[in-house]
Structure 1
Amino acid sequence: MGEAAVTASHTLKNIEWMWQSNPNPWSESEPAEWSHYSDLETLIIEGAYSTKQSQAILDDYYIDFKQNLQISNIDSKQRPIKRVQRKRDDKNLRGERFMDLPVGTGRSFSGEYGWVSPFIIEVRRDLGLQRDQLPSKDPQLIPMLVEKAAQGIITEAIHIRKQREAEKLAEVLLEKKNKNMKEVWQCCAYLYTLESFLYKTINAAMRLIGDKDHEEVWRS
């Protein structure tokens, strides 16, 4: 795994950023409750913190390190935050990714597409590649494919107002633009494991692949 991914992995194992999530965080009588930021939010916050920036900008909030506050970008509501150094237990963090993986009933890998994944065929058509043009055979394709993937992540994120998260994902991925295919795949797998919008978007699209009723969705 590359330097950016290794640094990110180390951060997520050793650093937690949390926000006070009970209904009234300023109440003296109400018990304090703390919630974790997502993996991507943690990387963004820690990146800004470790480089001595005064703020970290997220999609829905910004973090004021001087005051230790999360401040809404919409209504300026504030909540306390804290940084915790400890080894994190990941075993229960991502169960939801395995809880909602229905398979489209209209899926077929025969007929128009033969026995090759329709997704692979449509990507190849979209990029104007020949059947035998593969990054494993032609490493010169790798930078173009990585750039396209990074652009796609950012494009998808705009629709769901997760542009800051997408920019961080793209940053980590683009570090691999001039690496070999194995390193690119490892980075892609790592990005998928992060708690973010990405795995949810991928799961939603992949379960529709080959389904004629949702062709416009997975082809886009």
Structure 2
Amino acid sequence: MASQMEKRTNQPQAEWYWQSNSDPWSPDEKQDWKKYSDIESEIIEGVFDANDAKGLAKLDNYLIDLNSSLQISKSDHNKESNVKRVLIDRNENQGLREERFFLPQALNRPFNDDSYKGGLHLIKEWKKKAVDLTTSQIVEQAANGIINEGDLLGEHCASRWIARQLTAVQNKDGKEIYKCCIRLYTKECFLYKIINQAMIEADITKLDTLAPFCYLLFRSWLQDIKPYKAETYRGGNLNPDMVKYYQKSTGRKKCWYGFTSTSKNREKAESFGNSLFIIDMSDAIGIDISACSDFPNEEEVLLPPGTTFKIKQVQFNNTNYKNNIFLKIVNNLPSYSIAACLLNRLFANCFLCHKAIFSLNSNVIWRCETHTKAMNSPMV
């Protein structure tokens, strides 16, 4: 029987394009086509699938007349362009999205020292205010918050589309809600960018708007989603000073404040930038979100906010002409301890050594053979 990921990758995906020539009607100009964003394509495809007689999809700045295959400017109805629908094979060897999987050169602080600050702090502060909310109410708050943030960015249609996906599952079981959140987080749109910006900056002004969604995404760690404990990769474009920054921190423990996207595919991670992060997760837990992702061939393994790692080695590789930065994720179970507390779950904890056992089902165990005595309250 085919796996969920195999079924998903075997399904063709519709993408929509608009002709961006200065004069789209000129026979002398070469046709130039630009792709709509993922969510814009979803909105257009929804109207296409509905077989609506009007055939009119509404975006923030344009109307898409599917009967005439035209994009019409809302501000000037005389400005028109052609549109087209293209079916793509999900099995095509596509690369990783640069903004999602690669660290930019201008990043002044690529890691932090205290894992309990940043994104974790934002989630904890929000949960203090939302202790009596049901899951359905949290989903509704997350949807409304994304609409508010989208409006600030001018992403009116996209934010409301995301909100509709959330409210459609708000009364379903937890697994459906968390899978929906993961899928939305993988979409190429404004959402994952503002989520991580808020978590990295621990932006309290986003407490009521983005923290509810961050909380739901973080809760997926305690669900039966496929764990991954092997090697993953992430690209980067680092200037010489930044490389020295990593070299000086060799042997030290650092952390990431936001959610961190890594890939199981080394070749794809090497395709951009001058640096490759080689991440050993043998003593930690990430989640393989490929089956929930809109981009399953990215083979994404997502790490939680507050993930702690040790910088093992920094060396220049003469084969791929990149700085290879070796990281080892340090037993990131403290993040799960906080997640469990946020869920009002109590379980045994052993912080005295790294010999820990953790189960991603409802019977959470975290204790070692040597230290049989465990605390009965969560560490927060």
Report the TM-score range of the alignment, normalised by the length of the smaller protein. Answer: 0.7 to 0.9
TM-score, normalised on structure 1? 0.76
Cα deviation for residue 85 of structure 1 reads 2.7
Q: Go from structure 1 to structure 2 and tell me whether the alpha carbon gap of 1:107 and 1:61 turns closer, same or farther (over 3 Å shift).
A: farther
* 2:127 aligns with one of 114, 124, 134: 124
Say whether the 8 Å CA contact 1:71–1:79 is kept in structure 2.
yes
Q: Which has the higher strand share?
A: 2
Compare the two structures and name the one with the higher helix fraction.
1
Alignment of 1:17-28 (within 5 A): 17-28=16-27
Which of 159, 175, 187 lines up with 2:180 in the alignment?
187
- Matching of residue 16 in structure 1 with residue 18 in structure 2: no
> In the alignment, what sits opposite 2:58?
57
The answer as to 2:75 corresponding to 1:74 is yes
- 1:8-29: CA deviation from partner (whole Å, max 9, x where unpaired): x79x942121111233212111
Q: Distance in 2 between matches of 1:200 and 1:176?
A: 23
User: Whole-Å Cα distance in 1 between the matches of residues 158 and 195 of structure 2?
Assistant: 15
Distance in 2 between the 1:216 and 1:82 partners? Answer: 42
**Which shows bigger deviation, 147-156 or 65-74?**
65-74
Q: Secondary structure at the match of 1:175?
A: helix
Residues 169 and 116 of structure 1: CA distance in aligned 2, closer, same or farther (over 3 Å): closer
* TM-score, with length taken from structure 2: 0.46
CA RMSD of aligned residues (A): 2.9
How has the CA–CA distance of structure 1 residues 108 and 87 changed in structure 2, closer, same or farther, with 3 Å as cutoff? same
Query: For residues 87 and 32 of structure 1, what CA distance do their matches in structure 2 show?
Result: 23
Tell me how far apart the structure 1 counterparts of residues 93 and 34 of structure 2 sit (CA, whole Å): 15
Equivalent position amino acid for 1:99 in 2? F
Q: Which moved more, 1:54-63 or 1:197-206?
A: 197-206
Post-superposition offset of 1:118: 0.4
* Cα drift, residue 90 of structure 1: 7.3
The answer to whether 1:197 aligns with 2:190 is yes
Alignment of 1:55-204 (within 5 A): 55-76=56-77, 77-88=79-90, 89=92, 91-92=94-95, 94-100=97-103, 102=107, 103=109, 108-109=114-115, 117-127=120-130, 129=131, 141-204=134-197
| Distance of 1:93 and 1:24 partners within structure 2 | 33
SS in structure 2 opposite 1:173? Answer: helix
Number of residue-to-residue matches in the alignment: 194
- What does residue range 28-67 of structure 1 map to in structure 2 within 5 Å? 28-53=27-52, 54-67=55-68
3-state SS of 2:201 partner: coil
Give the CA deviation at 1:159. 0.6
Displacement of 1:69 in angstroms is 0.7
Aligned-partner SS, 1:85: strand
Structure 1 runs (4+) greater than 6 angstroms displaced: 104-107
Preserved CA contact (<8 Å) 1:70 1:78: yes
Cα gap change, 1:116 to 1:151, in 2 (>3 Å): closer
Quote the Cα distance in structure 2 between the aligned partners of 1:69 and 1:107.
52
Deviation, 1:153, is 0.8
Offset at 1:218? 4.6
8 Å Cα contact 2:48-2:66 kept in structure 1: yes
Closer, same or farther: CA 90–68 of 1 in aligned 2, 3 Å: farther
Return the offset for 1:106: 7.5
Residue 63 of structure 1 aligns to a residue whose secondary structure is strand
Greater RCO, CA 8 A, separation 6+ = 1
